[in-house]
């Protein structure tokens, strides 16, 4: 979070009033009806690593544990969260607040697709408009009481990540990656951006780590031996989970039934999140 505990200058800081701190002064206040305990963006250094599925699964599993959970789909030009949860139609508003849709298991969802007349319409906007929309998802949406707000981020280090890291009270990020050789570059890009902006990195989830042979149940590392453990040790962060390639998860996402996921792949990540 952009606060005194994570500020790189905290040891030598003489600012007594947090409202006048340069870091805290950039944070946008949400509306008075919201009380959100943890804000956790799920990020990646590149696209195609399964960041949206990981966001959806983390939200699903935390809600299943009894926590109040929301998901902000901040990937404005490539939104996929509503489809995974089987949500369609449009959100409603009263001129002051926007009311998110709620999934079968009570997860609150806000996405640009829930504002469009046709979910297949492209969002052809420039960076400042996209960034402003993401801010509105924080300030104008009636999230209410949440234990965890997960944010599905667009890949890379562009306008939206900068806006969220500077404008929202982020507690920490989770990096999603894959086991290929370039994992070092992917993870370090996301890690270095977070470090420069005084954002805590909770750890890494490695997606597509392996596949289990359906005939002999042998583990096959189709992308070669993982480098994630090595990188996590270098950066002193947690390797939270290794997710296999599991066609059943893709089917659940495609069918809008991600909340029916039932496996232990992310158990360690969930245990970690419960300690925050």
Instruction: Kindly give the residue spans of alpha helices, DSSP state H, lying in 173-214.
Output: 183-196
Residue 26 falls in which region: left (phi positive, over 0), alpha (psi -120 to 50) or beta: alpha
Residue 33 clears pLDDT 70, i.e. is over it: yes
Asked, for residue 145, whether it belongs to a domain, the answer is: yes
Bridge partners (DSSP) of residue 108 are: 70, 102
Classify 72 as helix, strand or coil: strand
The strand pair at 98-99 and 92-93 is best described as antiparallel
CATH of residue 45's domain is 3.40.50.300
DSSP states of 102-169: E-TTS-EEE-GGGTSSSTTS-----HHHHHHHHHHHHHTB---EEEEEEEEPPSSSSHHHHHHHHHS-
Question: What would the pLDDT profile of 71-125 be if each residue is shown by its tens digit?
Answer: 999 999 999 999 999 998 899 999 899 999 999 999 999 999 999 878 888 888 8
Asked, for residue 207, whether it belongs to a domain, the answer is: yes
Q: What radius of gyration do the chain's Cα atoms show?
A: 19
Asked, for residue 27, whether it belongs to a domain, the answer is: no
Instruction: Kindly give the residue spans of alpha helices, DSSP state H, lying in 65-100.
Output: 81-84
Confidence of residue 266 (pLDDT cuts 50, 70, 90): very high
Distance between CA 162 and CA 41 in Å, rounded? 12
The pLDDT of residue 157 is 77
Q: Which domain holds residue 50?
A: 36-271
Asked, for residue 20, whether it belongs to a domain, the answer is: no
Q: Which residue has the tokens 């997606």?
A: 207
The pLDDT of residue 13 is 55
| Of 91, 173, 89, 175, residue with least CA distance to 133 | 91
The sign of the CA dihedral 244, 248, 252, 255 is: positive
Number of domains making up the chain: 1
Asked, for residue 14, whether it belongs to a domain, the answer is: no
The pLDDT of residue 4 is 60
Asked, for residue 26, whether it belongs to a domain, the answer is: no
Asked, for residue 31, whether it belongs to a domain, the answer is: no
Asked, for residue 137, whether it belongs to a domain, the answer is: yes
The two structure tokens encoding residue 156: 């890379």
């Amino acid at each position: 979070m952009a606060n005194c505990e994570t500020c790189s200058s905290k040891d030598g800081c003489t600012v007594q009033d947090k409202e006048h701190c340069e870091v805290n002064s950039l944070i946008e206040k949400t509306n008075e009806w919201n009380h959100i305990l943890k804000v956790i963006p799920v990020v990646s250094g590149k696209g195609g690593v399964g960041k949206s599925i990981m966001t959806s699964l983390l939200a699903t599993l935390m809600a299943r544990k009894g926590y109040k959970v929301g998901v902000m789909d901040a990937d404005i030009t490539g939104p996929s969260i509503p489809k995974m949860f089987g949500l369609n139609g449009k959100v409603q508003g009263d001129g002051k607040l926007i009311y998110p849709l709620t999934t079968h298991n009570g997860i609150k969802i806000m996405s640009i697709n829930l504002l469009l007349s046709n979910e297949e319409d492209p969002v052809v906007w420039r960076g400042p408009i996209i960034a402003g929309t993401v801010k509105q998802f924080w300030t104008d949406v009636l999230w209410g009481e949440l234990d965890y707000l997960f944010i599905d981020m667009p890949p890379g280090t562009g306008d939206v990540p900068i806006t969220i890291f500077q404008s929202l009270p982020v507690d920490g990020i989770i990096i999603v990656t894959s086991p290929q050789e370039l994992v070092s570059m992917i993870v370090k890009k996301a890690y270095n951006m977070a470090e420069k902006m005084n954002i805590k990195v909770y750890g890494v989830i490695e997606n597509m780590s392996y596949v289990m042979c359906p005939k002999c149940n042998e583990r096959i590392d189709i992308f070669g031996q993982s480098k994630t453990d090595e990188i996590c040790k270098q950066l002193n962060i947690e390797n939270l989970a290794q997710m296999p390639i599991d066609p059943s998860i893709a089917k659940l996402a495609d069918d809008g039934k991600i909340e029916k996921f039932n496996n232990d792949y992310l158990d360690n990540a969930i245990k970690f999140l419960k300690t925050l």
